[in-house]
């Protein structure tokens, strides 16, 4: 399919699966190591038992369905779990491929300039905790990290982070944030209905790009619910017109979504945010197998 994207060479900030323009044929996604061979559709959308371990962090009813989801919803949950398996196998190699994170750190400094000591911050798609959890915890904030990848969370929990408040990590499907499933399925009540208005700021650097475009506004609305009034959102995205397109990434294949800048700003405004700052950064990954990309960093504020 033709993909519109703005890319340029250079080295600036952040880390994400890379995208490029052009029309090309993409094979079906390859199965992740250790994943069940049958597709999610073959199990009615339920996650096959050997797709994800469910053992490292908060319990997940692997191989079961919660009894309250339609087949399409279960299928999408299974697809997100398979994306997480890819990151389990990538592990620390993610940071090695994208070592420069200047734009991400700049967003963190913007948050630190406004937040009071001890303020609660949620990092959505925290990965190993570098650099955002480390930066914010070192400055004295109470940081909660959320991710669906067991492998990434294992690395995060093994890390000793600086600061007076030890970060807390939860394994959770980000589509369940601010819902009752956060408590019932993931044992994370502070990230569910009870957590509404709890956080002074939320960061989401290149985590929403793993969702189809039609899911992103819903998740943005759920993040807004977790923020206190006038709470801050720092967001990192790839500038490209993509909707869940399969692309190769570090020996795996991930489905990636993106927006052109003006389209992303419209989505954020519709979700209840004011965009206070938006900057584009050309990025050339350290891995020569990945093309350069244009990354967007946005600082937003909850409205209402």
Q: What is the CATH number of the domain that holds 261?
A: 3.40.50.150
The verdict on residue 32 lying in a domain is no
In terms of domains, do 227 and 106 share one? Answer: yes
Task: Provide the pLDDT for residue 293.
Answer: 78
In terms of domains, do 47 and 161 share one? Answer: no
Task: Provide the pLDDT for residue 27.
Answer: 36
Cis peptide before 288 (omega within 30 of 0): no
In terms of domains, do 212 and 80 share one? Answer: no
Provide the β-strand partners of residue 205. Answer: 236
Looking at the 3D structure of the chain, how many domains does it have?
2
Task: Provide the pLDDT for residue 50.
Answer: 31
The verdict on residue 27 lying in a domain is no
Burial class (CB in 10 A: 0-12, 13-18, 19+), 47: buried
Task: Provide the pLDDT for residue 34.
Answer: 38
Task: Provide the pLDDT for residue 251.
Answer: 78
Mean pLDDT by 10 residues, the chain (304 residues): 38 36 33 37 34 36 53 88 84 67 94 98 96 98 96 94 97 96 96 97 96 97 98 96 89 89 98 97 64 87 97
The verdict on residue 29 lying in a domain is no
Gyration radius from the chain CA atoms: 18
- Report whether 16 contacts 294 (CB < 8 A): no
In terms of domains, do 81 and 188 share one? Answer: no
Q: Tokens in use for 119?
A: 């303020």
Task: Provide the pLDDT for residue 66.
Answer: 52
**244: closest CA among 206, 265, 222, 215?**
215
In terms of domains, do 77 and 205 share one? Answer: no
Domain extent at residue 219 = 4-19+93-302
Task: Provide the pLDDT for residue 141.
Answer: 98
Task: Provide the pLDDT for residue 86.
Answer: 81
- Report whether 129 contacts 156 (CB < 8 A): yes
Q: Is 197 left (phi over 0), alpha (psi -120 to 50) or beta?
A: left
d(C-alpha 143, C-alpha 190), whole Å: 12
Strands 293-302 and 240-249: unpaired
Task: Provide the pLDDT for residue 29.
Answer: 36
d(C-alpha 114, C-alpha 197), whole Å: 17
In terms of domains, do 123 and 72 share one? Answer: no
Task: Provide the pLDDT for residue 235.
Answer: 98
Q: Tokens in use for 285?
A: 């990954």
**1: closest CA among 22, 18, 31?**
22
d(C-alpha 172, C-alpha 14), whole Å: 23
In terms of domains, do 83 and 182 share one? Answer: no
Task: Provide the pLDDT for residue 284.
Answer: 64
The verdict on residue 33 lying in a domain is no
d(C-alpha 1, C-alpha 293), whole Å: 18
The verdict on residue 130 lying in a domain is yes
């Amino acid at each position: 399919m033709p993909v519109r994207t703005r890319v340029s060479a250079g080295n600036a900030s952040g880390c994400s699966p890379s995208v490029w323009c052009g029309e090309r044929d993409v094979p079906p996604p390859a199965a992740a190591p250790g994943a069940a061979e049958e597709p999610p559709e073959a199990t009615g959308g339920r996650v096959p038992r050997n797709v994800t371990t469910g053992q490292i962090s908060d319990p997940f009813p692997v191989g079961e369905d919660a009894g309250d989801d339609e087949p399409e919803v279960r299928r999408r949950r299974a697809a997100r779990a398979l994306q997480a398996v890819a990151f389990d196998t990538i592990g620390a190699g993610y940071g090695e491929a994208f070592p420069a994170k200047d734009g991400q750190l700049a967003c963190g400094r913007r948050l630190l300039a406004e937040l009071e000591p001890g303020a609660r911050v949620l990092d959505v798609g925290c990965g190993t905790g570098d650099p955002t959890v480390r930066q914010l915890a070192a400055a004295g904030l109470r940081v909660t990290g959320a991710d669906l990848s067991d492998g990434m969370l294992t690395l995060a929990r093994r890390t000793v982070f600086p600061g007076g408040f030890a970060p807390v990590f939860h394994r959770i499907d980000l589509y369940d944030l601010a819902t009752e499933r956060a408590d019932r399925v993931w044992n994370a009540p502070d990230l569910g209905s009870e957590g509404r208005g709890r956080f002074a700021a939320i960061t989401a650097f290149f985590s929403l790009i793993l969702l189809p475009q039609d899911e992103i506004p819903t998740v943005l609305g759920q993040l807004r619910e977790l923020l206190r009034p006038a709470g801050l959102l720092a967001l990192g995205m790839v500038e490209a017109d993509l909707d869940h397109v399969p692309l190769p990434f570090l020996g795996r294949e991930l489905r990636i979504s993106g927006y052109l800048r003006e389209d992303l700003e419209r989505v954020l405004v519709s979700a209840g945010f004011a965009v206070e700052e938006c900057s584009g950064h050309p990025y050339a990954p350290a891995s020569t197998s990945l093309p350069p990309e244009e990354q967007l960093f946005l600082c937003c504020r909850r409205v209402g």
